């Protein structure tokens, strides 16, 4: 039961991580224009993402424009795109594989490889979280480093966007969920925490559904033998042996020896013919 709970917890963490990674990949809130200086009331706010750049005006208008050329983009932006897309793909594969390998599903039921399949899904979650963590961390470092440059105009400085926080949380959730799935698949299916009850060492309890006569006796030195029951068994055996010997002696003493003469006084019919006197 403990391993099943770990699998469910890891699966839902990985699912939330996949959704967070997808949201942070699509939305343009990676960089937000910084409102610094004496005049904090601005008419226009700029936002940049992996796929588009948006402008928000104080009148309520919101306009977005996608990047025209992919090859004309900076190399770090291209790498961030690729890593986030690969992370989403790995997360989707991890969800599909983990669903097959978890104990709460009927897929591959009874197969010894079911736990290893769940562990494979956990490894994919770990990989997806690590791939999403790289561009998020790199962009955060670049935004912070650019913000504290003294010779850069305030209009070119950006702050950390919401997608960076969401991406960081999603990466951590994916990695944590993958770790839980990997830990749950490492447990032994029989005799470990995945199995049924674990009895104390030395007590030869039979398996469920098996009688005492059909169960295998434990030959280890820790097997507990009740001395009271053994004394009772030995006493019953001795009493049965004495009863059998007493019965056989009584039978032999009551049987007459062969060739012995019968006493006519005890059995008159054996020594006298009384038919003539009637």
DSSP output for 33-60: E---SS----SEEEEE-SSEEEEEETTS
Give the separation between CA 181 and CA 275, rounded to whole angstroms: 106
Q: What is the pLDDT of residue 95?
A: 93
Contacts of residue 165, Cβ cutoff 8 Å, sequence gap at least 6:
none
- Beta strands across the sheet bearing 31-33: 62-66, 52-57, 44-48, 31-33, 158-160
User: Which residue has 């208008």 as its token pair?
Assistant: 61
- DSSP tag of 200: P
Q: What is the pLDDT of residue 246?
A: 61
160 three-class SS? strand
Whether the CB-CB separation of 14 and 173 falls below 8 Å is answered with yes
- Measured CA to CA in angstroms, residue 30 lies from 45, 134, 146 at distances of 13, 14, 14
User: Which residue has 């940049």 as its token pair?
Assistant: 48
Q: Which segments within the chain are labelled E, that is strand?
A: 31-33, 44-48, 52-57, 62-66, 158-160
Contacts of residue 72, Cβ cutoff 8 Å, sequence gap at least 6:
none
Mean pLDDT by groups of 10 residues along the chain of 278 residues: 80 94 93 71 79 85 85 88 95 92 80 83 94 94 88 82 94 93 70 40 47 45 51 62 63 48 49 46
Give the separation between CA 48 and CA 35, rounded to whole angstroms: 15
Q: What is the pLDDT of residue 40?
A: 55
Which among 174, 124, 183, 173 is positioned nearest to 4, based on CA atoms? 183
Q: What is the pLDDT of residue 198?
A: 40
Q: What is the pLDDT of residue 166?
A: 95
Whether the CB-CB separation of 171 and 137 falls below 8 Å is answered with no
Whether the CB-CB separation of 3 and 114 falls below 8 Å is answered with no
Q: What domains lie within the chain, and their CATH numbers?
A: 1-28+74-187 (1.20.140.150)
**What six digits make up the tokens of 108?**
């591959």
Q: What is the pLDDT of residue 154?
A: 75
Q: What is the pTM of this model?
A: 0.63
Whether the CB-CB separation of 144 and 156 falls below 8 Å is answered with no
């Amino acid at each position: 039961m403990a391993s099943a709970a770990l699998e469910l917890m890891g699966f839902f963490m990985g699912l939330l991580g996949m959704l967070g990674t997808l949201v942070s990949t699509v939305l343009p809130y990676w960089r937000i224009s910084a409102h610094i200086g004496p005049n904090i009331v601005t008419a226009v706010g700029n936002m940049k993402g992996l796929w588009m750049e948006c402008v928000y005006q104080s009148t309520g208008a919101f306009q977005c424009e996608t990047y025209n050329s992919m090859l004309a983009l900076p190399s770090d932006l291209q790498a961030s795109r690729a890593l986030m897309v690969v992370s989403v793909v790995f997360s989707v594969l991890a969800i599909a594989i983990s669903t097959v390998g978890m104990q709460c599903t009927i897929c591959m039921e009874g197969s010894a490889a079911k736990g290893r399949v769940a562990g494979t899904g956990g490894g994919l979650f770990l990989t997806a979280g690590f791939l999403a963590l790289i561009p998020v961390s790199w962009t955060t470092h670049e935004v912070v480093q650019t913000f504290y440059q003294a010779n850069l105009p305030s209009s070119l400085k950006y702050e950390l966007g919401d997608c960076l926080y969401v991406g960081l949380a999603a990466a951590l959730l994916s990695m944590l969920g993958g770790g839980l799935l990997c830990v749950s698949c490492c447990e032994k299916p029989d005799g470990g925490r995945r199995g049924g009850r674990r009895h104390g060492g030395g007590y030869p309890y039979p398996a469920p559904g098996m009688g005492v006569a059909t169960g295998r006796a434990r030959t280890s030195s820790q097997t507990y033998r009740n001395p009271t029951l053994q004394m009772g068994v030995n006493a019953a055996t001795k009493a049965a042996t004495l009863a059998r010997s007493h019965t056989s002696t009584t039978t032999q003493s009551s049987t007459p020896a062969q060739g012995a003469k019968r006493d006519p006084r005890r059995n008159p019919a054996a020594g006298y013919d009384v038919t003539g006197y009637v």
